[in-house]
Structure 1
Amino acid sequence: MPKNDSLSPEMLKILKIFGLGSLFIVLVLSFFDGRRANNSGKEISILSITDAERLYFKNVRGIYYDQEIRADAKMMVYRFGKRIADAKHPVLNLSILINRVKNEAYIYLEPSWGLANFKLKVEVDQKVDTLIFSQGDKFSHFEFVQQLYPYLSENSYFTLWDGSDWIPILQDDKERDALRIPIKDFLRLINIEADGLEKD
């Protein structure tokens, strides 16, 4: 029998059908793949906000805050209007920053003793917890606030290490509300359920 190395017309037709069919299926499935790589250059951050959240904060919650426009950084800074401004004892305040270029929100600690590393001891129900803040990026402020928030609604006793002794801080409800309310507003702004951070 003679050996024929060329493909028959029927075989070519079958290969074309299967080849084009498989390419079509790959293209169709690639449009519906939910786990595609993000090639846009923008990473989704936990601090991202939507326009609706930003507008809600600006128009509804923003009236309770003193506002400062930082044109150099293209940010709006919100400081709680009922914060403790002048006190003879150490006070911890917060500011919420909205970056309109990146559509992100940040929370920033503003201690009266200057921003540096510090320790905060929390005593509640015979338990002692020490929260340590290390100066860093936007996430170090956010993580510290997440640790602090659950204790603000409890009957907690706070002390601050000043280098030689533990001194009382956040002693009355006004000081605690000056932290609790902005933290709750911030968590709502970045679409995190504040109740999920409550202690059990």
Structure 2
Amino acid sequence: MSGKQPIFTPELVKVIKIFGLLSIGIVLFFSFFNDYRADNSGDAGQSHITDASRLYFKNMRRYYYDMEKQDEAKLDIFRYSKRLKEENLPFINLSIIISRIKDKAFIYLEPSTPLQKESEIQIRWKNLENDTGGILSFIPGDRHSHFDFVAELAPLIEDEIVFEVKIDGHWQSILDTEKERYAFKVTAEDYFRLIE
């Protein structure tokens, strides 16, 4: 009996096959049912938040906001507590929406009742110091349209700029009180700090 024993016995080959196929099956199973996917949309900077920015917001800034929990969607909605609430006036409030299960935050416009009837919100602005101005348009849509509009409007909110909104074909003042401007600007700043 001087013959060499084979390295892989038939039993060992069978065990290797079973474990190999089982490993491949587990990998395939988890790859199909994994909820965490890579964000290849190119807009991660618009909504991605870090643990540090989330903790800063929840520990330092959230006390300035009224919070609404939406348990089904696992979202927390924050609205600045000193915002305008008179429904018959034209104004735009902002809300910050934070996902509890994903590292994402979104900003949404919440127009008052007179503006909700408009299919497109047009805001005309004019700088009284250098006589420049323009018109910003917002068509309610997905989160990108809300983000883009806020990103355009927020930097314009300064003392020397006046704003008007078109309602039923007529221009009316908007963002004309300190309370309204401050609520808009603070919410926008908190959101942009959150997604940095």
1:114 to 107, 113, 116: 116
1:129 Cα deviation (Å)? 0.9
Moved more, 134-143 or 109-118: 109-118
Q: 3-state DSSP class of the match of 2:116?
A: coil
Whether 2:155 is the aligned partner of 1:150: answer yes
Question: Where do residues 184-195 of structure 1 align in structure 2 (5 Å cutoff)?
Answer: 184-191=189-196
Q: Normalization by structure 1: what TM-score?
A: 0.72
Q: State the alpha-carbon separation in 2 of the partners of residues 114 and 52 from structure 1.
A: 36
1:154 Cα deviation (Å)? 4.2
Q: State the alpha-carbon separation in 2 of the partners of residues 110 and 88 from structure 1.
A: 14
Q: Which residue of 1 aligns with 2:101?
A: 101
Amino acid at match of 1:59: N
The size of the alignment, in residue pairs, is 152
Amino acid at match of 1:97: I
Gaps of 5+ in 2: 1-35
1:78 Cα deviation (Å)? 0.2
2:137 to 132, 154, 163: 132
Q: Which residue of 2 aligns with 1:10?
A: none
Amino acid at match of 1:71: D
Amino acid at match of 2:76: M
Question: Where do residues 39-188 of structure 1 align in structure 2 (5 Å cutoff)?
Answer: 41-43=37-39, 45-46=44-45, 47-86=47-86, 88-112=88-112, 113-114=115-116, 116-124=119-127, 125-188=130-193
Q: State the alpha-carbon separation in 2 of the partners of residues 173 and 165 from structure 1.
A: 23
1:150 Cα deviation (Å)? 1.0
Query: Could you list the runs of 4 or more consecutive aligned residues of structure 1 that deviate by over 4 angstroms after TM superposition?
Result: none
Deviations 1:122-179 (A, max 9, x none): 1113112100001111111010000001111241110001131111111111110010
Q: 3-state DSSP class of the match of 1:174?
A: helix
1:70 Cα deviation (Å)? 0.6
Amino acid at match of 1:143: D
Q: State the alpha-carbon separation in 1 of the partners of residues 160 and 72 from structure 2.
A: 41
1:117 Cα deviation (Å)? 2.0
Change (3 A) 1:133 1:74: same
Q: Normalization by structure 2: what TM-score?
A: 0.74
Q: 3-state DSSP class of the match of 1:42?
A: coil
